[in-house]
Amino acid sequence: MFKSIFSRLVAMFIAIIIFSFSISGITLYYSFGKYVSEEKIRTLDASGEEISKYLKFYLENMQNPVAEVMLDYVLNSYRQNTGSYIWITNDKGVIVFASPYLKLTDSKILNHLKYEQGTYILPDERQYKKVLSGTNPVIEKGDFYGLFKETGWSWLVVQKPFKYVDTAGAEHVVAAVYLSTPITEINKARSTVYRFFLISVVVSVLISTFLVYFFSRRITNPLKQISNAAKIISGGEFNKRLNINSRDEIGELAGSFNQMAVALENLEEMRRGFIANVSHELRTPMTSIKGFIEGILDGTIPMEKQKDYLNIVRDEVMRLNRLVNDLLDLAKMESGEIHLMFSNFNINELIRRCIIKLEHLITEKELEVTVNFDEETFVSADLDAIERVLINLIHNAVKFTPNKGIIGINTIIDADRLIISVADTGIGIDKEELNMIWDRFYKTDKSRSRDKLGTGLGLAIVKNIINEHGQEIWVESEPGKGTTFHFTLKRADESLI
Ligand code: ATP
Ligand code: MG
């Protein structure tokens, strides 16, 4: 039923609101009821106290007819103020004063009073024994030993003993004041308050439901947007971005989502570019191979030239082979499939070997090679991988340096590292292109005419290898003057001693 976060939030908030209102309602009901009845007892008790004073005044001035009128008046006004029946009884339970007059009292009560010789008497001894013993005040709740049974309500009866001090100074309880009020009076007050409470509950539940609805929408709307955007991106539309600017966790999530979308878009662009490059690099040699072989087969290429063309075909096949191998190696490096085999070796020795390997190309171009080694230095690295780095860098230097140019190879110790530099006096690289030479298949415009065989993968592999070693590689170049590549390697511990 509550599947979405939105409906769960709304349901949860409303449940919390209703629950807290119920708790405060119940607390209010009981504490208010208690407060009202305590308050009522206090009022009746205080009224009883006052009535006693007038009773005393009356008893002391019995011969004065005004005294009785006054007592009657006082009883009447207290009755009205407190909403109760007020009776004064003597020490036998005989009701001597009553307000309202007993004749006007509800017959349901009157029926339960004892009537003897023109006076009404409390029928049960328990109704006056306690108060006459001096307890002040006596409080009874209920039907007052059957007296109020017929009214159907529960009553609160507050009884006050009236003490008279005789001439000898002794105190006697000679009368008692009864103030009786139906508890419905208390309930009436309670229900009035309760009505206001319920109205405020309904109003606040309505307002909070409204607020909760909007608040929950504000939380769940961005989540929906994120989910929709994710669907769109998974469908291949990588340029979708979110426009959520809140500064909370959802805003953070949206920010990360956008970053992810940018990364995915770049990756997709790279993938497309890569496929385009690979197919281009493969197609060109394959077309020429196909053309030459067809020419040989259909006789367009004469017998005596066939060998030359077959040589070109072999070169192209070798280039294709190298391209595929380089691509596979790069893919393996990037997926972390190739693990470096670290060993300690003399780097100067390796550099010498690499120069010898490329000797035929160097002499072909009449290049001068100068080496400047710091001292015989051992490094800790993967020998084959570093050989590949050196071959590619020296080969590039050879390729992009005109005849009779100079290639300089230096090693310099830098604390626990060794910096190896391969410099040439070649065509150089434009400033704008310096960052791009590390990309796969990237070849500068200037170099294209000089080197048709290169695939542009060499430096990508070189950078990968150096990165895998946790070392650095960088380049400096001045167009028309020359280029220098520098890379670092960790010195082997034995060289450090
Ligand atoms: P591959 O190494 O795969 O045979 P490549 O040599 O063309 O092909 P990289 O070694 O990756 O590819 O070099 C990328 C490009 O950087 C070169 O094509 C060239 O334009 C430029 N470059 C590299 N080294 C030099 C250099 N020493 N002088 C001038 N340009 C260079
Ligand atoms: Mg190269």
pLDDT in tens, 124-178: 999 999 999 988 899 998 899 999 999 888 899 999 999 888 788 888 899 999 9
- Binned at pLDDT 50, 70 and 90, residue 22 comes out as confident
Distance (Å, whole) CA 161 – CA 151: 26
The answer to whether residue 296 is domain-embedded is yes
The most distant pair of C-alpha atoms in the chain lies apart, rounded to whole Å, by 166
Ligand 1 neighbourhood includes 473 CB (under 6 angstroms): no
Instruction: Kindly indicate the confidence band of residue 217, based on its pLDDT and cuts at 50, 70 and 90.
Output: confident
User: For 439-456, what is the mean pLDDT?
Assistant: 83
CATH at residue 473: 3.30.565.10
Report pLDDT digits (tens) over 414-431: 989 999 999 999 999 999
Residue 211 counted as domain residue: no
Domain boundary among 318, 335, 352: 335
How many whole angstroms separate alpha carbon 87 and alpha carbon 400? Answer: 127
**Cα–Cα dist 250/39, whole Å:** 54
Instruction: Give a yes or no: residue 413 inside a domain.
Output: yes
155 and 279 belong to one structural domain: no
The CATH number given to whatever domain includes residue 278 is 1.10.287.130
- Does 83 share its domain with 25? yes
Does the residue 66 lie in any domain? yes
Q: Is 427 in the pocket of ligand 1 (CB under 6 A)?
A: yes
Of 335, 358, 376, which one is at a domain's C-terminal end? 335
Which residue minimizes the CA distance to atom 17 of ligand 1? 443
- Residue 456 CB–ligand 1 contact under 6 Å: yes
Quickly list DSSP for 472-494.
Answer: -EEEEEETTTEEEEEEEEEBPHH
- State how far the Cα of 475 lies from the Cα of 421, in Å rounded to an integer: 9
Asked if residue 153 lies in contact with residue 183, where contact means CB atoms within 8 angstroms, the answer is: yes
Looking up residue 120, the CATH number of its domain turns out to be 3.30.450.20
Give residue for tokens 């009537």: 115
In terms of Cβ atoms closer than 10 Å to its own Cβ (0-12, 13-18, 19+), residue 392 is buried
424 lines ligand 1 (CB under 6 A): yes
Question: Residue 441 and residue 274: Cα distance in Å, rounded?
Answer: 8
By the 8 A CB rule, do 391 and 359 touch?
no
pLDDT tens digits, 112-130 = 999 888 899 999 999 999 9
Please give the Cα distance from 238 to 259 (Å, whole number): 11
Distance CA 221, CA 227 (A): 10
492 and 447 co-located in one domain: yes
Which of 396, 424, 466 gets mutated to test ligand 1 (max ligand atoms within 8 A of its CB)? 396
Distance 437 CA to ligand 1 centre (A): 7
Q: Which of 390, 440, 441, 447 to mutate to test the pocket of ligand 1 (most atoms within 8 A of CB)?
A: 447
Q: Is residue 346 part of a domain?
A: yes
CA 271–ligand 2 middle distance (angstroms): 22
Alpha carbon nearest to ligand 1 atom 25, residue? 396
| Domain count of the fold of the chain | 3
Q: Is the distance from the beta carbon of residue 443 to the nearest atom of ligand 1 less than 6 Å?
A: yes
% of the chain surpassing 70 pLDDT: 98
Contact assessment for residue 225 and residue 244, using Cβ atoms and an 8 Å cutoff: yes
Same domain for 384 and 460? yes
Strand partners, 486: 421, 474
The most confident of the ranges 26-40, 263-277, 330-344, 474-488 is 474-488
Q: Do the Cβ atoms of 155 and 183 come closer than 8 Å?
A: yes
- CA dihedral (57, 59, 60, 65) positive or negative: positive
Say yes or no: 365 and 306 in one domain.
Answer: no
Q: Which two tokens stand for residue 51?
A: 């009535």
Q: Is 388 helix (H, G, I), strand (E, B) or coil?
A: helix
CB-based contact 455:320 (threshold 8 Å): no
Instruction: Quote the ligand 2 centre to 389 CA distance (angstroms).
Output: 9
Residue 106's pLDDT is 87
Q: 392 pLDDT band (50/70/90 cuts)?
A: very high
Enumerate residues with CB within 5 Å of ligand 2 (an ion): 392, 396, 458
Residue 422 Cβ inside 6 Å of ligand 1? The answer reads no
Query: In this structure, are strands 417-424 and 406-414 parallel, antiparallel, or unpaired?
Result: antiparallel
User: In 3D, which of 93, 5, 84, 23 has the Cα closest to residue 51?
Assistant: 84
**Cβ–Cβ under 8 Å, residues 145 and 124:** yes
pLDDT bracket for residue 497 (50, 70, 90): low
CA 78 to chain centre: 65
Per-residue confidence at 459, pLDDT binned at 50, 70, 90? very high
Residue 228 lies in a domain: no
Q: 423 in ligand 1 pocket by Cβ < 6 Å?
A: no
Unique residue bearing structure tokens 């035929």: 360
Same domain, yes or no: 442 and 326: no
Residue 385 CA to ligand 2 centre (angstroms): 15
- Asked whether the beta carbons of 288 and 316 are under 8 A apart, the reply is yes
339 CA distance to ligand 1 middle (Å): 26
Residue carrying structure tokens 């190298």:
322
**Looking at the chain, how many residues does it have?**
497
Question: What's the CA dihedral at 412, 418, 419, 422 to 10 degrees?
Answer: 90
Average pLDDT over residues 195-201: 88
**pLDDT (0 to 100) of residue 248:** 87
142: which DSSP letter? E
270 and 171 inside one domain: no
292-325 confidence digits (pLDDT tens): 999 999 999 999 999 999 999 999 999 899 999 9
Closest atom of ligand 1 to CA, residue 444: 20
Distance 473 CA to ligand 1 centre (A): 15
Domain enclosing residue 59, as ranges: 5-190
Would residue 418 count as lying in a domain? Answer: yes
> For position 1, what pLDDT does the model report?
60
- Alpha-carbon gap, residue 99 to 19, rounded angstroms: 47
Label the pairing between strands 171-182 and 417-424.
unpaired
> What's the rounded Cα separation, in Å, for the pair 38 and 30?
12
pLDDT of residue 371: 95
Tell which wins on pLDDT, 183 or 328. 328
200/178 Cα distance (integer angstroms): 39
456 falls within a domain: yes
Atom of ligand 1 nearest to the CA of 456: 12
Pair 466, 481 in one domain: yes
Task: Say yes or no: 51 and 172 in one domain.
Answer: yes
Torsion of CA 306, 307, 309, 314, to 10 degrees: 140
- How large is the average pLDDT for residues 459-479? 96
Q: Would you tell me how many other CB atoms lie within 10 Å of the CB of residue 118?
A: 5
Q: Which residue has the tokens 């007892």?
A: 41
Q: Which residues contact 285 (CB under 8 A, 6 or more apart)?
A: 316, 317, 319, 320
- Render 158-185 in DSSP notation, one character per residue: EEEEEEEE-TTS-EEEEEEEEEEEEHHH
pLDDT at 21: 87
Question: Could you tell me the CA-to-CA distances from 175 to 26, 61, 98, 136, 364 in Å, in that order?
Answer: 42, 17, 13, 12, 142
CA of 457 to the centre of ligand 2 (A): 7
* Residues 101 and 172 grouped into a single domain: yes
For ligand 1, pick from 327, 459, 464, 484 the residue to mutate: most ligand atoms within 8 Å of CB: 459
Same domain, 315 and 351: no
- Check residue 389 and give its pLDDT: 97
Are residues 280 and 386 located together in one domain of the fold? no
Q: How far is the CA of 121 from the centre of ligand 2 (A)?
A: 127
Is the CB–ligand 1 distance for residue 277 below 6 Å?
no
- Look at residues 281, 300, 335 and tell me which one is the last residue of a structural domain: 335
